[in-house]
Amino acid sequence: MCLLSTISKPELVFQDSDEQKFRRWVFYEYNATVSVFWSPFLVNGTENDYSKGIRHNTLYLDTPNEKWATELDKIDVVVFSCGHWFVQRAIYYGEGNQLLGCNSVQEVNCTNFNFLDAFRKVLRIALKEVTKRHFKLEKNVVVATFPSAHFEGEWDKFGACPKTEPYKEGDTEMPHLENDMRKLAIEEVAMAVKDVKEMNGGLKIEALDVTKLALLRPDGHPGPYLFPNPFANGMKERVLNDCLHWCLPGPIDTWNALLLELMKRWNDA
């Protein structure tokens, strides 16, 4: 949105009244609409809320979140971007609200259910939902792969996000989590593409593979500067670091440039 608004002024036409996690802008000059849907799991469920004593997520892995699913008919390009929330504590339910298992929830008597399996089921159900509705149409779906975090030590210890320059090739190795999440997304995209081809559909589905690009940018996070002037009263041993989210200049610019190239390629095909 920051980049697009340098070319054309958007008008905010909708936002939910509570947490403003769902928003829609219109660029009238170009007859274009951009919508943001907060759905970190893509499926129905409830998020943890420590203020209310809810210390885990509850997910229904077979039911796409209606917030975005009911809007699919109005969307020409869908970008799915999720992953990090799946490593959190969670209880999983499947078809018919059947308990499938838990991830690190000791308070509930249930078997362990790997969060990677949950992530795979969610991506598969999301892509099947789009395919079911749009396989005949010239619409486009992008799945962004898992970007890396770069914490070094404890998240609230000074120096946990210290890098000021990108890594060079060979300076670091892909961690298992990032590699597994990326591989999983690539596999599910390939399966969805195969399904569309077998149905002779016009829907285009591609992965936006940003995992390695993100891995090489440990300098691209807010770090201790998540909030202004963290050291105004002197240096601290403990400080809130954000080495998970990303600053717009740099990495996000690159991902947007790749997304633009995908869209231009579709247009030229």
- Cβ atoms 33, 49 nearer than 8 A: no
pLDDT in tens, 219-250: 999 998 888 898 898 888 888 889 999 988 88
pLDDT in tens, 133-183: 887 888 999 999 999 999 888 888 888 888 999 999 999 999 999 999 999
| Predicted pLDDT of residue 72 | 92
Give the residue from 215, 60, 249, 77 showing the smallest Cα distance to 145: 215
Residues facing residue 54 across a β-bridge: 49
Q: 101 — alpha (psi -120 to 50), left (phi > 0) or beta?
A: left
Identify the DSSP state of 49: B
| Predicted pLDDT of residue 18 | 67
Question: Helices 176-198 and 115-134, interaxial angle, to 10°?
Answer: 30
